[in-house]
Amino acid sequence: MLGDLLTSFFKRRFELASGSAVPLFDQLFEGLFPLLFVKYYFLSDWDLVIVLLILFVPITHFGALFFKKKILPVPHEKNLRLVKSRTRFRAWRSCHIALPPLQRYLNFENIIYHKWIITCFLKLIKKYDIGVRNALDVRFRQIELRFSDLPVPFDSYRILFMCDLHLDGLPGITERIINIVSGIECDSCIIGGDIRYEMFGSSFLTTRRLRQIVKNIKAKDGVFGVLGNHDCIEIIPDLEDAGIWMLVNDAYPLKRNGETIWLVGVDDPHYYRAHDLNSAFKEVPKDAFNIFVAHSPEAYREAAQHMARLYLCGHTHGGQVRLPFYDGPIITHSRAPRKIASGLWEYKDMSGYTSSGVGTSGVPVRFNCPGEVVLFTLKKK
């Protein structure tokens, strides 16, 4: 396990794609570490260790190739993960409170991170109430982004962006959001997933509060949304009834004076890994200006390959709890690089923004990382 972890560590640093095969390097540490252990207790001959390692490398490499090509099922040509049965069953099981009671309470996040250690510690040092007040102090930010290829009719186009609302996790957060958005006029509004706090049970309370928020949003082109890792697929009809156009591996054209830009949204790329960019970009012309929306930044490489110009996401909460002497998130809960885990970033020709979110996840507190509602203004460079 340590050998495999070390190999993965180096492959990520060299930005190799997940699952990519690198002969010799893939097998070196994975075979060497167990052999060193065996040598320490049972063997005294280095020659035998070297021979065993030389045999291990090709056998493991070609065995893995055989397994992938002959045993694993061939993926669908378009990789339509949205209808893959095991992914949907996982989503369905996560959303039903009666099915996994032990899993619900005996997992790392609930029993350790959320329920016991962090909450008790903050209460012990009398910082819990301060953290809750910080979490309710959601800020309104305005950011101007310039693009040379932005169609002229969309100069000064305004996008209101909110993600990680977690409306059932912190009393008062809904009212705080309404106070902010009711005074904003925008061209479109995007909700970047994780609308609810829990990952199981009824979403009635969440959707009821969301309806109140949507009623106070003044967006000329409408309100759009994507699913997050806390949002099961069953919630989509309720979200659409609330007035949100859900982009689930889909795209929507925004039109102004004969010109078009595209909103492209994908299913959750973090937990369910149901994002399908080929389907999402299917109707989008290759030279069209497009805004890509995903719940987390983890699809950034694929988005750049599809010529996305602006990537909007969240999920990381900006770390939610930051140290006063360290400028950046401590924990990101993301497989994406830390440099794109918060705020503005660039990757190749694509601009990106990872929001610190509105609500909270885990413990309902924030320190040195306020929640935010962001208004982007797109400008012609």
Q: What is the CATH number of the domain that holds 320?
A: 3.60.21.10
Instruction: With respect to residue 67, please indicate whether it lies within any of the assigned structural domains.
Output: yes
Total structural domains within the chain = 2
CA distances from 103 to 77, 99, 119, 201, 273 (A): 34, 9, 20, 13, 20
**Per-residue pLDDT, 216:** 96
Q: Rounded to an integer, what distance in angstroms lies between the CA atom of residue 109 and that of residue 101?
A: 14
Closest CA to 310 of 280, 346, 274: 346
- Assess whether 162 and 50 both reside in one domain: no
Other Cβ atoms closer than 10 A to 159? 25
**Per-residue pLDDT, 92:** 57
**Per-residue pLDDT, 365:** 94
H-only helix segments in the chain: 2-13, 25-41, 46-66, 85-94, 101-105, 118-124, 128-136, 173-181, 204-215, 236-241, 277-280, 300-305
Torsional sign, CA 113, 119, 120, 122: positive
For the stretch 116-151, pLDDT in tens is: 788 888 999 999 999 999 999 999 999 999 999 999
Q: Among 44, 71, 98, which residue terminates a domain?
A: 71
Instruction: With respect to residue 125, please indicate whether it lies within any of the assigned structural domains.
Output: yes
**Per-residue pLDDT, 108:** 44
Instruction: With respect to residue 101, please indicate whether it lies within any of the assigned structural domains.
Output: no
Strand partners, 254: 261
Instruction: With respect to residue 376, please indicate whether it lies within any of the assigned structural domains.
Output: yes
The backbone region for 131, taken as left when phi is positive above 0, alpha when psi lies in -120 to 50, beta otherwise, is alpha
**Per-residue pLDDT, 347:** 96
- Assess whether 208 and 321 both reside in one domain: yes
- Assess whether 151 and 256 both reside in one domain: yes
Pairing of strands 218-219, 185-186: parallel
Q: Which two tokens stand for residue 71?
A: 């045993």
From the centroid of its chain, how far is CA 140? 22
Q: Among 39, 71, 103, which residue terminates a domain?
A: 71
CA distances from 190 to 31, 52, 134, 177, 373 (A): 48, 56, 24, 14, 11
Q: Tell me the Cα Rg of the chain.
A: 23
The answer to pTM > 0.85 is no
- Assess whether 52 and 144 both reside in one domain: no
Q: Rounded to an integer, what distance in angstroms lies between the CA atom of residue 299 and that of residue 276?
A: 10
User: 173-181 and 128-136 are packed helices; what angle lies between their axes, rounded to 10 degrees?
Assistant: 30
- Assess whether 221 and 162 both reside in one domain: yes
**Per-residue pLDDT, 87:** 53
Q: Which two tokens stand for residue 344?
A: 């503005």
Other Cβ atoms closer than 10 A to 68? 11
Buried b (16+ CB within 10 A) or exposed e, 299-322: bbebbbebbbbbbbbbbbbbbbbb
Q: Rounded to an integer, what distance in angstroms lies between the CA atom of residue 23 and that of residue 57?
A: 8
- Assess whether 52 and 129 both reside in one domain: no
- Assess whether 207 and 344 both reside in one domain: yes
Q: How many residues does the chain have?
A: 381
- Assess whether 269 and 159 both reside in one domain: yes
Q: Among 32, 56, 71, which residue terminates a domain?
A: 71
- Assess whether 36 and 160 both reside in one domain: no
Contact of 156 with 357, CB cutoff 8 Å:
no
Contact of 291 with 264, CB cutoff 8 Å:
yes
3-class DSSP assignment, residue 379: strand
Q: Rounded to an integer, what distance in angstroms lies between the CA atom of residue 47 and that of residue 128?
A: 59
DSSP assigned state of 112: I
Instruction: With respect to residue 107, please indicate whether it lies within any of the assigned structural domains.
Output: no
| Domain that includes residue 60, residue range | 2-71
Instruction: With respect to residue 102, please indicate whether it lies within any of the assigned structural domains.
Output: no
Instruction: With respect to residue 34, please indicate whether it lies within any of the assigned structural domains.
Output: yes
3-class DSSP assignment, residue 314: coil
- Assess whether 51 and 135 both reside in one domain: no
- Assess whether 292 and 166 both reside in one domain: yes
**Per-residue pLDDT, 73:** 45
Instruction: With respect to residue 175, please indicate whether it lies within any of the assigned structural domains.
Output: yes
Q: Report mean pLDDT in 10-residue bins for the chain, 381 residues.
A: 86 76 85 86 80 88 77 44 51 52 49 67 93 96 97 97 95 96 96 88 87 95 94 87 92 96 95 90 95 97 97 96 88 91 96 97 93 98 88
- Assess whether 253 and 322 both reside in one domain: yes
Q: Rounded to an integer, what distance in angstroms lies between the CA atom of residue 276 and that of residue 136?
A: 35
Strand partners, 377: 144, 158
Other Cβ atoms closer than 10 A to 195? 30
